C-alpha cells in the first residue's frame, strides 16, 4: 500500500533557513527569546514564532521540519567552524528555557500538521570540533549530561506521543568510543531504546558530512550500521548522489544476511505510527 512521504526541510530561522527565500526571513529563535524571564512569555514568543514559520512551510507542502535545536549553549566557539556554529543557533544556556521554548515551538508547528525534530542528540553544545569536516568527541559523562544537556530531550520526549530526535555524528565517548552516535548500537539501542525506552523516530544528521563520509567504510558502512542499530531514517542531503553508495551497501548487506530484520520491522512500525498520529 502507499507509504507516507515526509517532505522535509531545515528551517530553524536565523542562519539556518533553507527556504528563505521564498519564505520570509526570521531572526534566530534564541535572539527572540533573549531577555525574556517568565515561562509564559517564553512559551508565547516561541509559539508565535512557530506559527509564523509554519504557515509558510505548510503553504509549500512541508510536513516535517528539522527543528528546533535543543542543544544547550555552552558558549563554545570554534573560530574555524564555518558550518555548525551551534552557539548562534541554540535557544538558551538554560535547559529549562530550552525545554519550554521547544515545546511551544512544536505546538505551533503541529497546528499546521507539521512535525518537529529535536536535535542534535546527544547534544553538541559542548563540542568544539565540527562534524561537517572532521571527527568530533563529546567527552562529558552521561551523569553530567543528564543534569543539563539531556533535560530538554527527556522532557520533550515524555510530553510528545511520537517524538522525533535527530542524531548527531559526535562520538559519545563514555558510551561508545568508536562509533558516532548516529551509527552506534550502544547509543541508539542500548541508551535510547533500552534505557530511555524511547520509541519515537530517530533520524540522522546528514550522512554527507565528513565525520561519516571520511570514516572507515564511508557512507555505505555507516548506513548499514545505523539501521542495524535501530535508526529509522538516514538523511542524505548535501550531495544527493551519495544515495547510491548508501543504497548499494544496503542491498549488498541484505543479500548477505547482514541486516537486522527485527530492527527494520520495528523502524517501519515507528514511521508508520508517526504518520498516522
pLDDT in tens, 9-30: 999 999 999 999 999 999 999 9
Phi, psi (deg, nearest 5) at residue 65: -110, 135
Q: What is the model's pTM?
A: 0.96
**Choice among 73, 149, 205, 232 that is catalytic:** 205
For residue 162, the tally of other CB atoms under 10 A from its CB is 16
* pLDDT tens-place string over residues 107-117: 999 999 999 99
pLDDT averaged over every residue in the chain: 96
C-alpha 26/C-alpha 126 separation (Å) is 26
73 is catalytic: no
* Cα–Cα dist 277/214, whole Å: 37
3-state helix, strand, coil in the chain (%, to 5): 45, 10, 45
- Write out pLDDT tens, residues 79-89: 988 899 999 99
Q: Which residue blocks in 111-242 are alpha helix, DSSP H?
A: 142-146, 151-159, 185, 210-213, 218-229
Query: What are the start-end ranges of the H helices in the chain?
Result: 29-33, 39-59, 86-89, 95-110, 142-146, 151-159, 185, 210-213, 218-229, 243-255, 261-276
Which one of the listed residues 132, 176, 213, 232 is annotated catalytic? Answer: 132
Show the cell assigned to 163.
517524538
Under the banding of pLDDT at 50, 70 and 90, the label for residue 161 is: confident
CA separation for the pair 68, 107 (Å, rounded)? 11
Question: How many alpha carbons fall within 13 Å on the CB side of residue 166?
Answer: 25
How many other β-carbons are positioned within 10 Å of the β-carbon of residue 175? 19
pLDDT value at residue 91: 98
Question: Has 205 been annotated as catalytic?
Answer: yes
Amino acid at each position: 500500500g502507499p507509504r507516507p512521504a515526509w517532505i522535509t526541510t531545515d528551517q530553524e530561522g536565523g542562519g539556518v533557513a533553507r527556504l528563505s527565500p521564498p519564505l520570509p526571513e526570521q531572526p534566530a529563535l534564541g535572539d527572540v527569546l533573549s531577555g525574556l524571564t517568565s515561562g509564559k512569555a517564553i512559551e508565547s514568543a516561541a509559539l508565535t514564532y512557530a506559527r509564523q514559520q509554519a504557515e509558510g512551510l505548510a503553504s509549500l507542502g512541508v510536513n516535517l521540519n528539522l527543528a528546533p535545536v535543543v542543544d544547550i549553549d555552552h558558549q563554545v566557539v570554534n573560530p574555524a567552524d564555518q558550518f555548525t556554529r551551534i552557539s548562534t543557533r541554540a535557544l538558551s544556556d538554560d535547559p529549562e528555557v530550552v525545554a519550554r521554548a521547544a515545546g511551544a515551538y512544536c505546538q505551533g508547528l503541529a497546528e499546521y500538521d507539521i512535525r518537529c525534530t529535536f536535535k542534535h542528540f546527544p547534544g553538541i553544545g559542548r563540542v568544539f570540533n565540527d562534524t561537517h569536516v572532521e571527527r568530533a568527541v563529546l567527552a562529558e559523562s552521561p551523569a553530567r549530561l543528564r543534569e543539563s544537556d539531556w533535560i530538554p530531550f527527556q522532557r520533550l520526549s515524555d510530553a510528545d506521543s511520537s517524538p522525533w530526535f535527530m542524531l548527531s555524528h559526535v562520538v559519545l565517548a563514555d558510551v561508545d568510543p568508536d562509533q558516532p552516535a548516529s551509527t552506534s548500537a550502544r547509543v541508539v539501542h542500548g541508551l535510547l531504546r533500552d534505557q530511555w525506552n524511547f520509541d519515537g523516530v530517530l533520524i540522522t544528521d546528514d550522512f554527507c558530512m565528513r565525520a561519516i563520509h571520511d570514516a572507515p567504510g564511508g557512507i555505505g558502512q555507516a548506513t548499514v550500521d545505523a539501521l542495524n542499530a535501530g535508526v529509522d531514517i538516514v538523511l542524505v542531503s548535501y550531495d544527493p548522489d551519495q544515495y547510491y553508495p548508501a543504497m548499494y551497501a544496503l542491498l549488498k548487506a541484505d543479500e548477505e544476511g547482514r541486516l537486522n530484520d527485527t530492527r527494520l520491522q520495528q523502524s517501519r512500525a515507528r514511521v508508520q505510527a508517526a504518520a498516522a498520529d
